[in-house]
Structure 1
Amino acid sequence: MRLKLNITILLVLISVFSANCQVTKTSENNSVEVSSKKKKKKKKKKKKKFKLPDIDLTHWKVTTPAGDGKKPQEVSPPEIFDYATNKDLMPYMYNDSTRGAIVFSAYPSKATTKNTKYSRSELREQMVSGENNVNWTFKQGGKMKGKLAIDEVSRDKDGKYHRIIIMQIHGRLTNEQKELIGEDDNNAPPMLKIYWDKGKIRVKTKVLKNLNATYEEMLHEDAWGNDEGFNFEQKVDFRKFTLEVQVSEGKMVIILNDNEYKVYENIHMRKWGIFENYFKAGNYFQTRDEGAFAKVRYYELEVSH
């Protein structure tokens, strides 16, 4: 009887020991699996940390505040493709690989473009890569859309943030128009300026001063004045936002964050049809205050015609 009891106890002990071993193995396996998953997640997170902006620079050149004090630095394709390693360009146009954006950095400089006192780190559209002489009209139409954010910007003496022009449509005289009015360059007024203004998006356009002006008179820059401007209701501050500009014959539409629109469809837009145009995007810094600075991040930028 005692022998049977001892054998029964022994079998129970063996069963318990086996179960414990199985639990230990299962725990070990689970631990290994959890550890493996954590490693995979860490690897994924590490991979996600390095992002590149979704911007094709084939049809853009850049102007920066660098230069000899007379002319700003300009870099066109194919040289612009190496912006991330170009030591002369890197202070003004570089990758933020943690956010997946190109940063355009600007500050007051003596190296400014003609007809302005402000400096810029700004892209200029080139319909033909590396060429400025092929542009588009409102009749041909065009669309530019960007995803961007203000990285940082300085304040003026009153504590207010300095303004930045973040997108433009710039007019251009054809060579024939330039000769007709006796100009020494192809510069025409900018039809559109979109500002980041103390956290809000402000739009300025051109209006023809004399609606009865002749074709030749309309080609002169002083024939065009500024409208009163328009402020979008949304305040973007330093958050990421999208801006889209749609152009067609006699019409221009500005869209903020895909849900707020400003439509321009008037006599001034129709009259503007005499000019060629090109898109601009980046950081056109609107101050000459000493020590001022601004940085604009572009995550995405695309143009179509």
Structure 2
Amino acid sequence: MKNFRRNILLIAFIAFLSANATSQNKESSVTESDVKVEKKSKKKKKKKKKVKLPNIDLSHWKVTLPVANEEGKPVEISPPEILDFASIEVAKPYMYIDSTKGAIVFHAMPTDSKTRNTKYTRSELREQMVPGENNVNWTFAQGGKLKAKLAMDETTRDSNGKYHRTIVLQIHGRLTNEQRDLIGADDNNAPPILKIYWDKGKIRVKTKVLKNPNATDMALLHEEAWDNDKGFNFEQEVGFRKFTLEVKVSEGKMVVILNGSEFKVYENIHMRRWGVFENYFKAGNYFQSRDEGAYSKVKFYELEVSH
């Protein structure tokens, strides 16, 4: 009888130890699972913090900012200083990197810092074929190609509730020093042959036409010889989404392409006569409003130019 009781107690004790061990194993298993989940969560957080950089080489661009220098003129930053724009204090509010999106943001609003012959301000790049030099540019005969991926990030509305518009790309004309002296101009400025607007969520293109197609080569050097065309709107609405723009220029011809699927071709007497000018590309945010409190922010993800 004593042996029977002893065996029963021994079996009960062994069963207790076995149950306790199983319970501990279960607790250990749950803990390991929790650790795995936590590690995965940390990995996801690390991925979210991954830094993205824009695919833009600024070694052949200078920027004009909507803030004045000591002389009252817009601040400009040229190569090589522009390569370190993210650490330049005066540039930080108007040109900065969004490392979560991999873009350069160009921020513009009305200020007293305006370039000559305009009432609007800009945070905008200007192409320099020779870094730091404005006197080396290109003609239509030499040709040029630009491709950009960009998006309107933010923009305000006017008193009618319509979004303010901005110019995101340009081809600007330029007089050579000889042409400037020939017509007695006090600077090298010539009209822009191309302006591409973000306009209420759509892309609008404006170019120039001669008032008199038979004007002499000397007469067409004057800005007054040119007028604005009626403009062209692409059918696609880009809104605040990413989109691509391509501009291809050759002798007597200019082509603008939206998202690789819509084309606007300019091939006429005006393009042929424009060949007398030198040119340079511009890209960024040339804000088209003087409304109080108005602003826009344009993001550029990619920008490539070739000649």
Equivalent position amino acid for 1:40 in 2: K
Mean Cα displacement is larger for which, 14-23 or 56-65?
14-23
1:58 aligns with 2:68: no
Mapping for residues 113-192 of structure 1, pairs under 5 Å: 113-192=115-194
Quick one: which of 81, 84, 106 aligns to 1:82? Answer: 84
What is the SS of the residue equivalent to 1:146?
strand
Distance 1:22 1:119 in 2: 70
4+ aligned runs moved over 4 Å, structure 1: 13-35
Map of 1:9 onto structure 2: none
Structure 1 residue runs of 5 or longer lacking an equivalent are 1-12
Distance 1:81 1:52 in 2: 13
Equivalent position amino acid for 1:234 in 2: Q
Instruction: Give a deviation string over 1:220-258, Cα, whole Å, max 9, x none.
Output: 111111111000001111111111111111111111111
User: What is the TM-score when the length of structure 2 is the normalising length?
Assistant: 0.88
What is the SS of the residue equivalent to 1:183?
coil
Mean Cα displacement is larger for which, 25-34 or 168-177?
25-34
Equivalent position amino acid for 2:86 in 1: A
CA contact (8 A) 2:124 2:284 kept: yes
CA contact (8 A) 2:246 2:258 kept: yes
What is the SS of the residue equivalent to 2:290?
coil
Quick one: which of 201, 218, 231 aligns to 1:199? Answer: 201
1:296 Cα deviation (Å)?
A: 0.9
CA contact (8 A) 1:104 1:297 kept: yes
Quick one: which of 42, 50, 62 aligns to 1:39? Answer: 42
Equivalent position amino acid for 1:300 in 2: E
CA 1:65 to 1:46, structure 2 compared with 1: closer, same or farther past 3 Å? Answer: closer
Distance 2:48 2:108 in 1: 32
Instruction: Give a deviation string over 1:119-156, Cα, whole Å, max 9, x none.
Output: 11100000011111100011111111111111111221
Distance 1:258 1:120 in 2: 27
1:166 Cα deviation (Å)?
A: 0.6
CA 1:23 to 1:231, structure 2 compared with 1: closer, same or farther past 3 Å? Answer: same
1:46 Cα deviation (Å)?
A: 2.6
Equivalent position amino acid for 1:64 in 2: L
CA contact (8 A) 2:49 2:100 kept: no
Instruction: Give a deviation string over 1:164-213, Cα, whole Å, max 9, x none.
Output: 01100000001111111111111000000001111110000001111111
What is the SS of the residue equivalent to 1:282?
strand
CA contact (8 A) 2:247 2:255 kept: yes
CA contact (8 A) 1:62 1:76 kept: yes
Distance 2:278 2:109 in 1: 30
Map of 2:286 onto structure 1: 284
Map of 1:8 onto structure 2: none
Mean Cα displacement is larger for which, 229-238 or 14-23?
14-23
Distance 2:179 2:39 in 1: 69
What is the SS of the residue equivalent to 2:218?
helix
Equivalent position amino acid for 2:209 in 1: V
CA contact (8 A) 2:50 2:100 kept: no
Equivalent position amino acid for 1:63 in 2: T
CA contact (8 A) 2:56 2:301 kept: yes
Map of 2:253 onto structure 1: 251
CA contact (8 A) 1:146 1:243 kept: yes
CA 1:90 to 1:21, structure 2 compared with 1: closer, same or farther past 3 Å? Answer: closer
Instruction: Compute the RMSD of aligned alpha carbons.
Output: 2.5
CA contact (8 A) 1:149 1:239 kept: yes
Equivalent position amino acid for 1:42 in 2: K
Equivalent position amino acid for 2:73 in 1: K
Equivalent position amino acid for 1:53 in 2: P
Map of 2:240 onto structure 1: 238
Distance 1:254 1:189 in 2: 18
CA 1:210 to 1:148, structure 2 compared with 1: closer, same or farther past 3 Å? Answer: same
Distance 1:292 1:37 in 2: 44
Mapping for residues 91-130 of structure 1, pairs under 5 Å: 91-130=93-132
Equivalent position amino acid for 1:180 in 2: L
What is the SS of the residue equivalent to 1:83?
helix
1:39 Cα deviation (Å)?
A: 3.4
Instruction: Give a deviation string over 1:233-286, Cα, whole Å, max 9, x none.
Output: 011111111111111111111111111111111111111111000000001011
Distance 2:224 2:290 in 1: 24
